[in-house]
Amino acid sequence: MLEEELRKETLKWLMKIESERLKEKNGKGKMALENISAYVKDSRHFLGSKDLIRAFEAVIWAWAFLEIHRELGNLE
Q: What is the pLDDT of residue 27?
A: 65
Helices (H), the chain: 2-23, 30-48, 52-71
Listed residue (15, 5, 40, 26) closest to 75, CA to CA = 26
Where does the pLDDT of residue 10 fall: very low under 50, low under 70, confident under 90, or very high at 90 and above? very high
Domain span including residue 36: 2-18+26-71
Could you tell me if residue 45 is inside a domain? yes
Could you tell me if residue 76 is inside a domain? no
Could you tell me if residue 41 is inside a domain? yes
Q: What is the pLDDT of residue 29?
A: 77
Listed residue (63, 76, 67, 64) closest to 17, CA to CA = 63
CATH code for position 38: 1.20.1270.90
Q: How many domains is the chain partitioned into structurally?
A: 1
Q: What is the pLDDT of residue 52?
A: 96
**Mean per-residue pLDDT, 5-26:** 86
**Mean per-residue pLDDT, 60-66:** 94
62 vs 76, residue with greater confidence: 62
